Structure 1
Amino acid sequence: MLAFERLTMNRLLRISILGLTTALLNCGIPATACDDTLVMLLTAQNPGSEFSRVIRSFNSDLTVLGVSLKAMEKSNYDAEMSKVMESWLEFSKKYLTSPPDEARNDLRWAEKTSETARSIGEIRRLINDKQFKEAHDRVLELNSRMGSFFEAFGVSDEKQLFISTSTNLTSLERALLNDERANAASMVKELANNLGSFTALLENNTDNRKSDAEKLLAELATDIENSTSLKSLDARQQQLKIIFEELRSQILLREWFPGLKN
């Protein structure tokens, strides 16, 4: 019975992941690394565990804070920061020094949680000082490290690819927002490599948007070299995120429902 319940829960989570991905794409909500759907995927082996619940909650609150800071539409972000603090407190009470069973062999666990705690403290200080641009950059930096909590989980090569791509997309966003053109150009090259790995997994799929992604990467490379405006660069980068989300969803559909065409 327990095995059946776990199987049912895994199926429900898979449907939730695909449903959330579709909703994000249709609504145009920006994805961030480690984005919410990716964290749901990484916790899919044991979705009902306490660790899965608290890390999804923390990542979701961090995402909301990052999106709000980037929009720069408010004079303070105390409410969003408080939610991050609350969810991190819940996480740290259980896992600050002792990892969950899935990561019991992670020798760097305490180091990772300590780094996260320091980052949250720095983000809070920057928000209190009204340094919102800097706070957003630190949120992106922390987002890019969230995948490290799953390093000892024995994730598949595909999921490692998803983590790497999510991290590179966030690193590209940070580089663009900070006008670090050389770093941005380097990230475009890394993402081109990621795209090659994605499309290899979809080699028989005739509708995988590979050409759209290649076009965007080429345009980004040219725009970075020509010092195009940040607004234009950011728009292309957000479009690229959406395409990678779609590619990831197609890979998951083929894995979970192998009988589907395209």
Structure 2
Amino acid sequence: MKTCMIKTNKICKSFVTDGEVNNVIKNLDLEIYKEDFTVIMGSSGSGKSTLMYLLSGMDKVTSGDVYLKERNITHCKEKELASVRRNHIGFVFQGINLIPDLTIRENIISPTYKSKINRRLLIHKVDDLLEQVGLKEHENKFPSQLSGGQMQRTAICRSLINEPELIFADEPTGALNSSAGENVLDTFTAIHENGQSIVMVTHDLKAAVRGNRVIFIKDGRIDGELELGNFQKEESEEREKTLFDFLKERGW
């Protein structure tokens, strides 16, 4: 039986634009499970990125409740939410946002500056992460000296340094060419195989097939769910066809 990490109870998110209310997420119930690689898909404007921000505590719901490991984080103050995000959640975004004046190693370490982690242990952790993503020889370079794919792999290492229980990734390959994107997806697959829980928002079929579970959002509601099983490279074409048929049925 799977362990539930995040659960929502009829969450809604509305924005007011020019005096009109826009209901982006509508009474949505969802469970995110430990050790799953969950992919959220949907057409542009469907609410998929908004949903990710609500699940991660980066934005607040208009109504309803969000539970992280049975703790209701809906009404937490910003200081509490910052602690939750720092201690339980990692983030990887399309806009990589590395600190330009820090080396790759320093960027990876940066989220730990307020933690009490043992420095010797931290050095070993950074070394292991750099080896895992093939960046050890670049550790003393600055972001401007790396390719887009290398920078995104650095961002993944940074998201992992505090050993988060869950990583959120919003279109992490959207700004990369196909080769760099493939390398980044291989990194996500590798960390998922090691037991890391991941939630990824994407519009890209090749990225989505890396997940074992795909949730399709339409007009702020869940319009379908597909179980793909864990990713195997030799099954890529078959997985893509299965996913494409699933998406096509939903007007994607």
Q: Which has the higher helix share?
A: 1
Q: Which has the higher strand share?
A: 2
Q: Same fold (TM over 0.5)?
A: no
TM-score by length of 2: 0.32
TM-score by length of 1: 0.31
